[in-house]
Structure 1
Amino acid sequence: MNQTLRHPEILDIARRDGKVTVDALAAHFGVTLQTIRRDLAELAEAGRLERVHGGAVLPSGTVNIGYEERRALNAEAKAAMARACADRVPEDAAVFLNIGTSTEAVARALLHHRNLLVVTNNINVANILIANPTCEVVVTGGSLRRSDGGLVGALAAETIRQFKTDVAIIGCSALDRDGDMLDFDIAEVGVSQAILRQARQRFLVADHSKLSRTAPARIASLSQIDTVFTDRALPAGLAAACADWGTEIVVAG
């Protein structure tokens, strides 16, 4: 069976079961694992599925995929983007890091930076940076989101407003083709907006999968970002808009 016939059936299975796995699809169609991975990659590029570890799920515009699945998704690309981003962070700097698996990758890439002050609403970031003895970590208050270790709400935003940092590094759940950064949780959006307002330089770390996703809450426009770190070139229209806004695009990998 060729891919033209496989793709609709893969989508039917995903709608029926909520998720498809590479192993099960390879057995079902009698093809190689590599063939199925290619099918899922093409369906994800078209926005029909979202890749997760070992398979794919139907995309949602209102509910984020699970934290563990997000952490495994495009892990190598996130590590490359994180290294590129960390290279732009000077030592002896004050830095905001928000919620997300991409910003956690940046935290790992900052482990050898000296004399940083990091303000974060991400408990996972704080736990990573404990290993850097010269890094001072300030964790905001706020409501703990158990699903991913995020701290959100008015108390988190109020803590952030007490600081003015050299660099803000944020992630997002989705990136619209018109250049809007989107997220699922309005309480998290308010914190991210506070972070952007309180920083002298603003970085976004977002892999290519964010362009095939959608989410209901708007954080800000890329026109408010100084540098975007990603793993693939942006679509031509969005790249042109970024050039007009003066937003630098760094493709890592």
Structure 2
Amino acid sequence: MPTGAGNLSKKGRRRNEILAILADEPTMRVKALASRLDVTTETIRRDLEELAEQGLISRTYGGAMLRAGNEPVLSQRERQLVREREAIARRAFVELAKGKTFLIGSGATTAILAKRLAFELRNVTVIAHSFAVATALAQNPTIRTIMVPGEYHAAEGAMHGAQAIRFLQDYTADWAILGASALSPDGPSDALIEAAEVYATMLRQSSRSMIVADHSKFDRMSTARYAEWSQIECLVTDRTPDGPLARALDRNEVRVMVADKA
């Protein structure tokens, strides 16, 4: 076998090992990876740079983290992890019960939460950019729903863009309730840049903030980070985070509320 082919094969196997390690231990330092794979730190850095260029990982300070995969469209996500999302919605409602005005982002988990709010609340106002959220709220005629205008994103069933941002800037709310494609130690992020811009605006216009996201989002990074953890009051999820994510949440005094699936 030619030397170049052998080297390429060895490099390919090593990079597959790196991805497998990151799947089990989502955040790893360069030195730890080099020691595990018995290669130099320079070799690991080159591997990480190429994996990052391929969109498979994200570089972090001194290490790497797996990127969140491409999200399915909303209609597919709504059929996944339903029990976990319903539990998150029940737990979130306990915190939200006394609110009067809400800004709610798009997503499968927020849509399920909207159904819970429609069942439990009376005489509240919700500002939404997601048609799934607005449709769920329509079950309760006492809830005043204000729909955000803008550019329609069909796969997400939501309104985005400059018009949506300008509209939101004229409103304030007790709570911003947002989903996320990924949760890293640096903050929550979304696969859609347009959605991230809407979420960041919702956060600025709200007194309090909540992220609702299941454990599959832990220790991942997606395209557009829309907040730092210092901007988030609480995370409602179905499992207790650990490792770097847990330390970041604790450092930024984010309250973590774990839902009971029973």
Which residue of the other structure, out of 93, 112, 121, is the alignment partner of 2:129?
Answer: 121
Judging changes above 3 Å, is the alpha-carbon distance between structure 1 residues 202 and 233 closer, same or farther for their aligned structure 2 residues?
A: same
Aligned-pair CA distance for 1:147: 1.2
Aligned-pair CA distance for 1:70: 1.2
**In 1, distance between residues paired with 2:137 and 2:21?**
37
Checking the alignment, whether the CA contact within 8 Å between 2:104 and 2:127 is kept in structure 1 is: yes
Aligned-pair CA distance for 1:241: 2.4
What do the CA deviations read for 1:197-245 (whole angstroms, capped 9, x no partner)?
A: 0000000001000125431211112221101000001113322322221
**In 2, distance between residues paired with 1:79 and 1:225?**
22
- The gaps in structure 1 that reach 5 residues or longer are 1-41, 49-57
**In 1, distance between residues paired with 2:155 and 2:248?**
35
| AA matched with 1:119 | I
Q: Residue 147 of structure 1 corresponds to which residue in structure 2?
A: 155
The Cα RMSD (Å) is 2.4
- Tell which structure's C-alpha radius of gyration is larger: 2
Q: Residue 96 of structure 2 corresponds to which residue in structure 1?
A: 89
Checking the alignment, whether the CA contact within 8 Å between 2:68 and 2:182 is kept in structure 1 is: no
Which residue of the other structure, out of 230, 235, 240, is the alignment partner of 2:237?
Answer: 230
Question: Could you list the runs of 4 or more consecutive aligned residues of structure 1 that deviate by over 4 angstroms after TM superposition?
Answer: 42-45, 58-62
Alignment of 1:47-62 (within 5 A): 61=68
Q: Residue 52 of structure 2 corresponds to which residue in structure 1?
A: none
Judging changes above 3 Å, is the alpha-carbon distance between structure 1 residues 115 and 47 closer, same or farther for their aligned structure 2 residues?
A: farther
SS in 1 for 2:198: helix
Checking the alignment, whether the CA contact within 8 Å between 1:230 and 1:251 is kept in structure 2 is: yes
Aligned-pair CA distance for 1:161: 0.9
**In 2, distance between residues paired with 1:250 and 1:179?**
19
Q: Residue 180 of structure 2 corresponds to which residue in structure 1?
A: 172
Which residue of the other structure, out of 184, 194, 216, is the alignment partner of 2:191?
Answer: 184
Aligned-pair CA distance for 1:138: 0.2
Q: Residue 78 of structure 2 corresponds to which residue in structure 1?
A: 71
Checking the alignment, whether the CA contact within 8 Å between 2:99 and 2:174 is kept in structure 1 is: no
- The gaps in structure 2 that reach 5 residues or longer are 1-19, 27-55, 57-65
**In 2, distance between residues paired with 1:46 and 1:113?**
41
Identity fraction in percent: 28
2:80 is the counterpart of 1:80: no
Which residue of the other structure, out of 201, 210, 235, is the alignment partner of 1:203?
Answer: 210
Aligned-pair CA distance for 1:189: 1.0
Checking the alignment, whether the CA contact within 8 Å between 2:218 and 2:245 is kept in structure 1 is: no
**In 2, distance between residues paired with 1:92 and 1:195?**
16
Q: Residue 222 of structure 2 corresponds to which residue in structure 1?
A: 215
